[in-house]
Amino acid sequence: MSCYIIEGGSRLSGEVQISGAKNAVLPILAAAAARKESKIKNIPFLSDVSNTLRILEKLGMDIKAENNTVTTLNNINSTELDRDLSRKMRSSVLFLGALLGKYGEVTIYEPGGCQLGQRPIDIHLWAMEQLGAEIKQIDERIICKGKLKGTDITLPIISVGVTENIILAAINAKGTTIINNSAMEPEIDDLIKYLNESGSKITRRNNTIIIEESASDNYCEHSIMPDRIETGTYLGMAAATGGELFIKGADPGHIKFIISLFEKTGCIIKTDFSTIYIDAPSKLYSIPEVTTRPYPYFPTDMQPQLMAVLSKAEGSCIINETLFSARNKHIPELIKMGADIKEITSSQFEVTGVKKLIGAELYAKDLRGGAALVTAALSAEGESRIYGTEHIIRGYEALCAKLTAAGGKIKLIK
């Protein structure tokens, strides 16, 4: 079993370069399955990305990967996803809309991904039915067929994946589709940008997205937006270690809410077009209450990392997790390090800052929970061993190299 060995107590300082966004590249690679040819740049090397490229290859696509650029040439000869690869990632569900819209049929499997409580795909399937698809489930196969027609869809809950799936399906539907109550995450805008660059006609105004019929399918080159959760995670690591970092290649506009929270803890943060500078004090203040909500508010994907930071801040914070019913698996691990965290319910937690955290043997059970453990371990006294690195490499490109360059003491042991 591989693990990270982290010697805590070093202040992070220097520069960190942000990679392309995991949650933008995955839908865009699914979109490439409905497009003739694209060159996609600033692709992060993550296990979810290599699994998605393998899904595309198994569908028959020609893929050329060089450095952080991937060229896709569409020669698809199958519309059935690979079962085992699909089950490794939640985002495999995005091939549903992309392939169904383009080819009139697709066979998918229940997707995998982080175990954060119930993560059904009922609304994805319902949305495809609204566009005219017929759906049958035979054993593990979910078979969807139909010539799609544009329509008005009002989402019953705000969902990033469902919004993306409808866009991916609707670009090849007959007529116009309107999504009401859509998600507004920047990754959705990056998907829209890629699709429009290749000839689609999509506009978003607040939480309404209009997808017009368009037969164009042009070659396009697209650069993936910076990863806002990776950016927020490094801000958290700097805050937790009393560090001073220049975070480069970021988009400060995407993480205004996160920046405002770290400022409340006492950090000084300055931004320009693509750099965020953070100077953290040796003692942080807590924040009375934080609630995870869809963009533009506090993202659930930063909840565990913020909890790790607040574990050593002065005062108490109530954290409400409203997106996922079981995004709490990092809590027992933080408690092992000496954190004072009460689970009022499985989605409401009270974090009271302690003077110090102590290194321990820790188990990452999901991606962001794993990032929280790395954050806590960097700020703790003594050595920590973090197992479950396979979860963390799903979302953080070159984590050890980036942290080491900024003075963190971390090693990956295979």
DSSP state of 366: S
The answer to whether residue 391 forms part of the interface with ligand EPU (CB under 6 A) is no
Q: Of 23 and 286, which CB lies nearer to ligand EPU in the complex structure?
A: 23
Contact 78, 38 (CB under 8 A): no
Binders in 145-184 for ligand EPU, by CB under 6 A = 157, 159-162, 183
Phi-psi region of 117 (alpha: psi -120 to 50; beta: other; left: phi over 0): left
Q: State the pairing for strand pair 13-17/361-363.
A: unpaired
- DSSP codes joined into one string, 120-186: --HHHHHHHHHTT-EEEEETTEEEEE---B--EEE-SS--HHHHHHHHHHHTTSBS-EEEES----H
Q: Report, in Å, the least distance between residue 292 CB and ligand EPU.
A: 8
Output the smallest distance, CB 349 to ligand EPU, in A: 17
Q: Which x/- pattern, by CB under 6 A, does the window 34-63 give for ligand EPU?
A: ------------------------------
Q: How far is the CB of 235 from ligand EPU (least distance, A)?
A: 16
| Contact between 191 and ligand EPU per CB under 6 A | no
220 has catalytic annotation:
no
End-to-end CA distance of the chain: 7
Classify each residue of 322-342 as buried b or exposed e, where b means 16 or more C-beta atoms within 10 Å of its C-beta.
ebbebbbbbbebbebbbbebe
| φ/ψ (deg, to 5) at 24 | -100, -40
Is the N-terminal amide bond of 120 cis, ω within 30° of 0? no
Catalytic residue among 3, 114, 220, 317: 114
DSSP 36: S
Instruction: Determine the size of the site formed for ligand EPU (CB under 6 A).
Output: 26
Q: How far is the CB of 60 from ligand EPU (least distance, A)?
A: 23
Give the residue with the Cβ less far from ligand EPU, 166 or 284: 166
For position 308 contacting ligand EPU by CB under 6 A, the verdict is no
Q: Kindly identify the residues of this chain, within the stretch 266-305, that bind ligand EPU according to CB under 6 A.
A: 299-301
* Complex with ligand EPU: residue 136 or 342, whichever CB lies closer: 136
Q: Does 96 bind ligand EPU (CB under 6 A)?
A: no
Q: Which residues bind ligand EPU (CB under 6 A)?
A: 23, 26, 90-91, 114, 118-124, 157, 159-162, 183, 299-301, 323-324, 367-368, 395
As annotated, the active-site residues are: 114
